[in-house]
Structure 1
Amino acid sequence: MYFVTLFMAILMANIVKSSAVYARQNEIILACAEEAPSPDFLELSKLLQASNSTSLTRRQSQQDFNFNVFAHVVYYDKTARGGYVEETDIKKAIEAMNRNFDGSGISFTLVSVSYTENQDWATYRDVEAMKDDLREGTYADLNLYYISSIAEDRGQITTSGRCSMPVTFTSNGKPVDITTRKDIVVSEEYLVGDGCVIVARAVDGDTVTHEVGHWLGLLHTWKSDCSDDGDMIGDTAPQESPTWRCSSVTDQFSDGTPANYACGGWRESNMYNFMDYSDCTSTFSAGQKKRMAYFAEYREILGSRGPTHHSSRPAAAAAASAPAPAPEAPPEPPSDANEDNTQRLRWFKRSIFEQEGGYDLCMGLAYFKMSGSSSLSADHVDRACGTEIFCKIIEWDWQGLGPQTMRDRLGFASHHECIAGHEAEP
């Protein structure tokens, strides 16, 4: 009881602070660690917000962009907690990302998936060496590094993902138009450091979509300080904190559009936007698509000028065709006394917290969605949390659907009905 109450209190406090999804002991878990944009990047973004007259903007409207994707799985054991991701899951995530980017003129092609066992790299130590050893391609190629955890310098902070923003260039304090300055090239240092690091337990397509939004020049839709230009996209409303849960947005305009009070007035909620934190993200705005198209061409131009970086290990190029190492099978769980629920809601011993990163999966329910195309099944959540905690959290997560819908979909409509369908823990 105390465990769940503490989780809920921390979650609600962090919604107000717009800082973290949950905390335990000295570890804080964030949904994303947006790289602090450089002053040069902010200056260019402000210029793009204010004017559509640049030569790059004028030429991009009819152009489509396809980026090669090189995925690198870096793990210390063959579990999700250890950083392991199966190639089929990565393919599904890229397919989901392509659906999310539909209509933007931007798409992605998975070229290869490599596997590396290295505990230091899998736990975000010596990241520069990891990227230098594994990175493939030019500045126009997306490299995804799936690892166990991301630890920042501010204590023990683990995030679901971290992507580099596009590098920008200035002259005399003003952004340089790279289409007319053909001498502008990306340094080897910036090339190697480019890409996205993703926690293996966040392999779903929406997580990658959000992070790649940063890779293509998008900021979060919220900013706690209303005195600046926010995300510098004209058609995303000012927002002071993440949405987190869409069920918490109860206000609407007369036409039914979800409303959010921010920066001294009622604004359209960004709850459906991929660059918000919410459990119902589904779209980019027209302005965001235009901004990403700008930086997509920006990356392609710089990528065409070189340099090109190849993995220092010859075997890495063949990793895509080589079979991935088989994951270790978890122990068979005990069956449920209620035969009707055996396949869906099973009782698991507390030792499951030592399997497949179960503790983190359970506590991360506020971020890993319970509905939608990339959802976790109720069975997976029950497996991670144990039934007592599962029944409490899932009642809280699904209560907005109403008792009848919950009963139709889950077989129960309350914590007590959920518990009643299971035998006591042995």
Structure 2
Amino acid sequence: MAFKKSLFVAATMAAAVFGAALQGHDECANIEPSDELRAAAAEMAAHEAEAAKKPNNAKPAADVNVPVYIHVIATSTSKADGYLSDADVRSTISGMNGDYQGRGFQFTVKAIDRSINARWASDQDEMVMKRKLHKGDYKTLNLYFLPKMAANGYCYYPKSVSSGSDDLYRDGCTIRSDVYNNGQTTTHEVGHWLGLFHTFQDGCDPVNDMVDDTPALINSWSCNQNDDSCPDMPGKDPVTNFMSYGTCRSVFTAGQTARTKSMYNKFRA
């Protein structure tokens, strides 16, 4: 898939708004990838393209075991107010481990803590909360479950960080508590934490998500595998890809698997 430079913002935003209206709220509130991340992705794409031309008889590398600290934020001790049980959040990690099995990563819960705080529960005072709760280093995943968010979740992309910086403490993923048992959401968001863009990044622009084996598409909530929103580009819409939107997500591509490993090794290892 050739690299691209143009951005189909209007079409992508229109599709996203339509999908959000159908779902009642936004799926993902991730910001645009930084210039640093795009440059790293471009370099990795070039290396991956060269590697694909050569025979590879090496044994697959062992999965990276990512330590996970889970922070449950609620407004009361009622589950309706976000107070998830250990079993609830562990089921999320179990589902995510199934999705990432054979894809280079597994996730181990190290600890679960809970806070009753109305402002934190509505995604306010982010840095105050994270300075208090964040645990581990940059290769550690901090998951925050909050009951009052406009979107299902968001994660911070990997980047160069310094010890003790806001960027280090800000890192991690925030998931809306009422979708804790929708494993697709957490798997999708952690994909961003590992450096993956949306499959519909930049719409029908040829570079798209900068992964060669994910066809370009304009964002949609469709599960129709015959959809082709970018007919001048190779492949049908990757509606079953975890980094798309919708309710039928179930796969990562080999290219995405290679990319997450490269991103993790560059920024987090």
TM (norm. structure 2) is 0.84
Matched, 1:29 2:25: yes
- For the Cα contact (< 8 Å) 2:20–2:27, is it kept in 1? no
Q: For residues 152 and 126 of structure 2, what CA distance do their matches in structure 1 show?
A: 16
Partner of 1:111: 110
Give the one of 239, 262, 265 matched to 1:294. 262
Rate the CA distance shift 1:234–1:168 in 2: closer, same or farther, 3 A: farther
- For the Cα contact (< 8 Å) 1:60–1:293, is it kept in 2? no
Partner of 1:245: 222
Matched, 1:50 2:46: yes
Shift of 1:240: 1.4
Shift of 1:36: 1.8
Shift of 1:296: 2.5
Matched, 1:38 2:15: no
Give the one of 205, 208, 232 matched to 1:264. 232
Partner of 1:161: 153
Q: For residues 20 and 82 of structure 1, what CA distance do their matches in structure 2 show?
A: 28
Give the one of 214, 232, 244 matched to 1:236. 214
Shift of 1:187: 5.0
Gaps of 5+ in 2: 1-10
Partner of 2:174: 197
Q: For residues 76 and 87 of structure 1, what CA distance do their matches in structure 2 show?
A: 17
- For the Cα contact (< 8 Å) 1:220–1:276, is it kept in 2? yes
Rate the CA distance shift 1:235–1:122 in 2: closer, same or farther, 3 A: same
- For the Cα contact (< 8 Å) 2:212–2:255, is it kept in 1? yes
Q: For residues 293 and 104 of structure 1, what CA distance do their matches in structure 2 show?
A: 9
Rate the CA distance shift 1:241–1:14 in 2: closer, same or farther, 3 A: closer
Code of the aligned partner of 1:17: A
TM (norm. structure 1) is 0.54
Q: For residues 290 and 22 of structure 1, what CA distance do their matches in structure 2 show?
A: 30
Partner of 1:376: none
Q: For residues 82 and 18 of structure 2, what CA distance do their matches in structure 1 show?
A: 21
Greater than 6 Å deviation, 4+ residue runs: none
Q: Aligned with 1:115: secondary structure? A: strand
Shift of 1:116: 0.4
- For the Cα contact (< 8 Å) 1:20–1:30, is it kept in 2? no
Code of the aligned partner of 2:250: S
- For the Cα contact (< 8 Å) 1:224–1:241, is it kept in 2? no
Give the one of 215, 219, 229 matched to 2:193. 215
1:192-245 Cα distance to aligned partner (Å, 9 max, x none): 010001110110222110000000000110135433511100000011123x13
Rate the CA distance shift 1:250–1:112 in 2: closer, same or farther, 3 A: closer
Partner of 2:84: 85
Partner of 2:145: 146
Q: CA RMSD in A?
A: 2.7
Rate the CA distance shift 1:266–1:36 in 2: closer, same or farther, 3 A: closer
Q: For residues 206 and 235 of structure 2, what CA distance do their matches in structure 1 show?
A: 16
Identity of aligned residues (%): 30
Shift of 1:60: 10
Q: For residues 116 and 234 of structure 2, what CA distance do their matches in structure 1 show?
A: 50
1:314-344 Cα distance to aligned partner (Å, 9 max, x none): xxxxxxxxxxxxxxxxxxxxxxxxxxxxxxx
Shift of 1:300: 4.3
Q: For residues 72 and 263 of structure 1, what CA distance do their matches in structure 2 show?
A: 43
1:58-102 Cα distance to aligned partner (Å, 9 max, x none): 999524200000000011023455222111011111001000001
Rate the CA distance shift 1:73–1:60 in 2: closer, same or farther, 3 A: farther
Which structure's CA Rg is the greater one?
Answer: 1
Q: Aligned with 1:207: secondary structure? A: helix
Q: For residues 44 and 60 of structure 1, what CA distance do their matches in structure 2 show?
A: 25
Shift of 1:141: 0.5
Matched, 1:19 2:11: no
Rate the CA distance shift 1:45–1:168 in 2: closer, same or farther, 3 A: farther
Give the count of matched residue pairs. 251
Higher relative contact order (CA 8 A, sep 6+): 2
Shift of 1:42: 0.7
